[in-house]
Structure 1
Amino acid sequence: MEFTTGNEQLALVRALFPDLAETLDSALAERGQGAADRDDRGFDAWLDAEAASLRNGALAGAPFAALGDAESARFEAAFVSARSVALQGKLALPEPEAFAAAGVDLGRLARHLASDATLVPVPAPYGLGAERWGELFRNAAAQPGSPFGASDSLTFAAEVLDGFGILDSVPDPALARVETHSDEAVPLTWTLRLIPATPKPPLLGLGFAHGPHISLPEMLMLQLMRVTTGARPVDTESFTWLAGALAGGRLAARHVFDDSESLVRISCREIGNQGPHLGARPPVG
Structure 2
Amino acid sequence: MTKAVRIHGPGGPEALVYEDVEVPAPGAGEVLIEQTACGLNYIDVYHRNGLYPLAALPAVIGMEGAGTVAAVGDGVTAFQPGDRVAYADAPPGAYAEARLMPWHRLVKLPDAISDQQAAAMMLQGMTVEYLIRRTYAVQPGDTVLFHAAAGGVGLIACQWLDHLGATVIGTVGSEEKAALAKAHGCHHTINYREEDFTARVRELTEGAGVPVVYDSIGKDTFEGSLDCLRPRGLMVSFGNASGPVPPFNPAVLGQKGSLYLTRPSLLNYNVQREELEASAAALFEVVTAGKVKIEVNQTYPLSETAQAHRDLEARKTTGSTVLLP
TM-score range relative to shorter protein: under 0.3
By relative contact order (CA 8 Å, sep 6+), the higher-ranking structure is 1
Bigger fraction of residues in helix: 1
Bigger fraction of residues in strand: 2
Please identify the structure whose Cα radius of gyration is greater.
1
* TM-score, length-scaled by structure 2: 0.24
* TM-score, length-scaled by structure 1: 0.26
